Amino acid sequence: MSSVSLDSLTSGFNIALNVTDYKCFNEYAGFTEAELAKLIPQLVDVKQLGVSADEIIARMKPVYDGYCFSHQAEHTVYNSSMCLYYLNKVSQLGEFLPPEEYTDPASDHDGAKLQQLFEISEPGLSDTLIDTCLSGNSFFLKSLAENINLNKDRKYNRVQLLSMLYYLGYLTIDKKLSRTGRLALKIPNMFMSRLFAQCTADMRLKPSKVFADSVLDISALQAVKDDISTFAASCTEFLSGIFTNQVLTHMSEMALNLTLYTKLDSMNEVFAEMQKSLRAVGDGEKFADLVITVNEGQDNECVYLIELKYAAKAEATESKIRSLVKEASDQVLKYRSALEFRDIRVKAYAMVFAGAKCVHCDMQTSQ
């Protein structure tokens, strides 16, 4: 979902006024939560599903919400097209489905269009933007570019690229950090975050010889062992190669998660999922960092549920590591009790990294 951009319809078309950033028009194209609360019971049989409209909204929020077109706006809005597509699927199948797995086919569902934008930007600009995304930071600029020639021969500069990403709905206004004279843009939600992650994998990780030649030791997982220290050691070696060779230049928890997932996803022996939606009993919807299924369809099929935590080397004190271990342990135990894992063999682990090195990997067995 995006604002409206002004394009020349005829030579000399210069009398239009862009009002899409006016506060009063912020909710014009998307759904507010109040609107969804009224709409959902009309489209979905909530009694049959056994859930309330509020529960459905809470599950949709991280995936479809987050759009803002004025830094003065009071509310963010949901992508209306995505919402309607998802609610139609819920009604059609009669199940409370995970929203992140149901996206409107008309959207850039595989990141191809986003990658094309990166490819027509100035050299090095896409790398800078990817690093900012991996760090979880917003993008700052004085104002959007209002006149962008889509057919021009020159590469997009930073302001033009960020403006295009905003106009096409990949970024939205960060109203907390924006003010008059300074505009902050951010990735609006999990769906768009996954598109940026996919582009990072396709543009930076997969083309790399270091990435392709590296190996993760999953033998302990395939043998359904409790001790997966060999896997943890291979993660350290793999990540060290990725960052030492600057395949990725910014190390963060998000970067570690994406890099490990992309490698696991390229292996035929396992089925890997990143940021998997889980309904934890008493805690609502949660998102697990890594979910690795081994021996699918066999008697010894098993799910390895892993919560990752990261500390920069300079900050990796003993107390910091202990704190991250406790945080990861508490989270992964909640995830293990999720409804999606009912009657499934699951082993839960807390993995903590200091830089690229895994300094803790332990199975969690009790709450």
Q: What residues does each domain of the chain span?
A: 1-199, 206-364
Average pLDDT taken over every residue of the chain: 90
From 362, 330, 358, select the one nearest 349 (Cα to Cα): 362
3-class DSSP state for residue 222? Answer: helix
Residue 285 dihedral angles phi and psi, to the nearest 5°: -80, 135
Classified as helix, coil or strand, 8 is coil
Supply the DSSP string of 124-190, one letter for each residue.
THHHHHHHHHHHT--EEESS--S---TT-SSPB-HHHHHHHHHHTTSSEE-TTT-BTTBEEEE--SH
Q: What is the pLDDT of residues 256-308, one digit of tens each?
A: 999 999 999 999 999 999 999 898 877 778 899 999 999 999 999 999 999 99
* 160 pLDDT above the threshold of 90: yes
Q: Which two tokens stand for residue 108?
A: 């850039």
Predicted local distance difference test score (pLDDT) of residue 9: 46
Q: Whole-prediction pTM value?
A: 0.86
Instruction: Calculate Rg over the CA atoms of the chain.
Output: 22
For residue 147, name the pLDDT band (cuts at 50, 70, 90): confident
